[in-house]
Amino acid sequence: MIYFDLFIGFLEVGLFSFGGAYGAIPLIRDVVLSHGWLEDEALAYMIAVGESTPGPIMVNLATYVGRSQAGLPGALIATAAVVLPSFVIILLVMTLLRKVLENPYAQAVLRGLKPCVIGIVLATGVYMIVRNCGEDAGSVNAPAAAMTALLAGIHFGSRKLWKGGLSPVGLIVLSALFGIACYGWR
């Protein structure tokens, strides 16, 4: 039953998304790949769309995946599921469990979770970059590798030139222009 799968899948994402917007991306990737809802390619496109539209990325992705699998009801169910855990947890923290986050055992759990999320996000980024640059048999896709080096240089270099550097949306626009320049208009 697709509605049930969407609900449970995105509930899991909402419940384990520590570490901000990008902390949720490996989880969403797990869920959509294992159910065959999206391929890596489409997921990367939607991350870019989410980054260029308002609102949290994980809400954007839940809405998109829900709609693509089961229309408007699917979108509503997936979005509600991804929001529900943080909604309920904040209510619990405000009412019953005011002190729970200061509890030393809860702190110990968080001390383990946070670096683990960082490692997972780092691995996801590295894997995506490497896979973009490689072709099937492990040979290098030269234009993609050149674009990766150039974009990374601009992204990290721009921070040295002015405060904050190039914004994520700026980088996405630039990369779109590079893509067209490299692969042609038609």
Partner 1 sequence: MNILLDLFLTFARIGLFTFGGGYAMIAFMERSCVEGKRWISHDELMDITVIAESTPGPIAINCATYVGYKQKGLAGAVAATVGIVLPSFCIILVISAFLDDFLKIAWVAHAFRGIKIAVGILIFDAAAKMICRMPKKPLPLAVMGGAFCAMMLINIFALRISSITLMLIAAILSLSIFGAKRNFAGERRDK
Of residues 60 through 89, those in contact with partner 1 by CB under 8 A are 60, 63-64, 67-68, 72, 75, 79, 83, 85-87, 89
In angstroms, give the least distance from the CB of 177 to partner 1.
7
In angstroms, give the least distance from the CB of 1 to partner 1.
21
Residue 4 or 88: the one with the smaller Cβ distance to partner 1 is: 88
- Please list every residue from 146 through 175 that binds partner 1, using CB under 8 A: 147-148, 151-152, 155-156, 167-169, 171-172, 174-175
- CB within 8 Å of 112: residues ≥ 6 apart: none
**Exposure of 26 in the CB half-sphere (CA atoms within 13 A):** 18
Residue 1 or 85: the one with the smaller Cβ distance to partner 1 is: 85
Beta partners for residue 140, in sequence order: 134
In angstroms, give the least distance from the CB of 4 to partner 1.
18
- CB within 8 Å of 173: residues ≥ 6 apart: none
- Please list every residue from 95 through 114 that binds partner 1, using CB under 8 A: 101, 104-106, 108-114
Distance between CA 52 and CA 74 in Å, rounded?
Answer: 23
User: Applying CB under 8 A, which of residues 2, 3, 5, 18 lies at the interface with partner 1?
Assistant: 18
Interface with partner 1 (CB under 8 A), residue total 100
Distance between CA 60 and CA 49 in Å, rounded?
Answer: 8
Amino acid at 90: I
Q: Where are the alpha helices (DSSP H) in the chain?
A: 2-16, 20-23, 25-35, 40-52, 57-95, 104-133, 142-161, 168-183
User: Applying CB under 8 A, which of residues 45, 135, 140, 142 lies at the interface with partner 1?
Assistant: 45
- Please list every residue from 116 through 145 that binds partner 1, using CB under 8 A: 116-129, 132, 144
